[in-house]
Amino acid sequence: MKKTAIAHPNIAFIKYWGKKEDELRLPANGSISMNLDGLTTTTTVEFSEAYEKDSIMIDKENLFEEADRVIKHLDRIRALANITTKAKVISENSFPSGTGLSSSASGFAALSVAASYAAGLDISEKELSILARQGSGSACRSIPDGFVEWLDGATSEDSYATTIFPASHWDIVDIVAVVSQEKKEVSTSKGMGGADTSPFFETRQKHMTQKIADMKDAIKNKDFTVFGEITEAEALEMHAIMLTQKISLIYWSVGTLQLMKHVKKWRAGGLECYFTINTGQDIHILCQSKDSGALQGKLKEVPEVTRVLLSRAGMGARVIDTHLF
Ligand code: PMV
């Protein structure tokens, strides 16, 4: 059977950095995110006896590095569906992959949905989220709609994401300022392995529960100032862990740093915006809908910015009728 799904990457306001269990990807702490409706991964999967081996094509290339991880994920789904049939997978991103824009989140969310349905599974949102998490942790947050919480959980069955507010709850805007097309030097999975080697990791864990509660309140109350302050401080805290890991990770470029300073300056000048950054050089800037035009105008004046990608809160992963092959 052939099925196609689309999914959006998500931006974490409270981040996942560090695992309590590697193989199952159980996170050290819970996290909060929003799906990004302006960025999309589309994936078609077909299981057929006609295929002698799995074939994977991402963004029109046969990417052998990622293929192993995708085939492992297909194996999880084949085990659930009790089949051994090989699959053809074609996936396309509407945005640059491997530069910190979380293509693995939307990628594994779309793959989980398309492959599960193509394998004939009748599977709940919670089960899809648990499945997607095992492909790439943050992918579990791209399964449900809108504003999402990933419950860290003590076991695989307890570690999944749910909607805390629908996409329509709050009209905030995420603008990605692309400052590089270069792929990151250290992958997220590899980098995250060393999180607990930072002397600050334990301290971070101690206040995560409170921070998550405060963030949920800020989103519930649509308090953009509290939301923005927590979000920006959280991104800097995660990067403080990265910078102090053994071996240290510096994901920023000159352009990233310049934009961090610009955001603070624009904010001091009355344009309320806040940044957050993942494992890449590109920077997400959050603002209220009314300020989005002014912020885009400011970004046009920054020479390091090669492209801007605008999103509002988006839906979760879902099946569509148009196939890629
Ligand atoms: O799911 P992964 O392995 O791509 O890890 C995501 C890690 C961060 O993007 C840095 C933080 C997050 O919570 O999205």
How large is the average pLDDT for residues 48-66?
87
Query: How far is ligand 1, taken at its centre, from the CA of residue 98, in Å?
Result: 12
Is the confidence at residue 242, as pLDDT, over 70?
A: yes
pLDDT score of 183: 74
Confidence at residue 65, expressed as pLDDT on a 0 to 100 scale: 64
Which amino acid is located at 207 in the chain? H
Contact criterion met (CB below 8 Å) for 302 and 175: no
Could you tell which of 160, 188, 251, 281 is best to mutate to test the pocket of ligand 1, judged by most ligand atoms within 8 Å of the CB?
188
Per-residue pLDDT tens for 6-34?
A: 999 999 999 999 999 999 999 999 999 99
* Confidence grade of residue 184 (pLDDT, cut at 50, 70, 90): confident
- Mean pLDDT score across all residues of the chain: 95
pLDDT in tens, 110-148: 999 999 999 999 999 999 999 999 999 999 999 999 999
CA 234 to ligand 1 centroid distance, Å: 13
Q: Which numbered atom of ligand 1 lies nearest the CA of 100?
A: 9
- Band (pLDDT 50/70/90 cuts) for residue 98 is low
Query: Best of 192, 231, 243, 277 to mutate for ligand 1, by most ligand atoms within 8 A of CB?
Result: 192
116: Cβ contacts below 8 Å, ≥ 6 apart: 77, 80, 81, 123, 128, 131
CA of 270 to the centre of ligand 1 (A): 31
147's tokens: 């504003």
Closest ligand 1 atom to residue 10 Cα is: 14
Among 227-231, 291-295, 305-309, the range scoring the smallest mean pLDDT is: 305-309
From the CA of 11, give the closest atom in ligand 1. Answer: 14
Using pLDDT thresholds of 50, 70 and 90, give the confidence band for residue 64: low
Cα 225 to middle of ligand 1, angstroms: 24
Outline where the chain has alpha helix (H): 64-81, 103-118, 125-135, 188-192, 201-206, 208-220, 224-243, 254-268, 292-300
pLDDT given for residue 100 in this prediction: 62
State how far Cα 24 lies from the chain centre.
Answer: 17
Nearest-atom number in ligand 1 for the CA of 238 is 10
CA of 109 to the centre of ligand 1 (A): 13
Q: Ligand 1 pocket by C-beta < 6 Å: which residues?
A: 12, 15-17, 31, 102, 104-105, 136-138, 188-189, 278-279
Q: How far is the CA of 175 from the centre of ligand 1 (A)?
A: 18
Q: What is the 3-state secondary structure (H, E, C) of 35-87?
A: EECCCCEEEEEEECCCCCCCEEEECCECCHHHHHHHHHHHHHHHHHHCCCCCE
Ligand 1 centre to CA of 31 (Å) is 10
DSSP-derived 3-state class of residue 231? helix
CA distance 173 to 84: 44
Distance 230 CA to ligand 1 centre (A): 18
Assess whether pLDDT exceeds 80 at residue 240: yes
Closest to 175 measured CA to CA, from 83, 283, 18: 283
**DSSP single-letter state for residue 142:** G
Residue 102 confidence (pLDDT) above 80: no
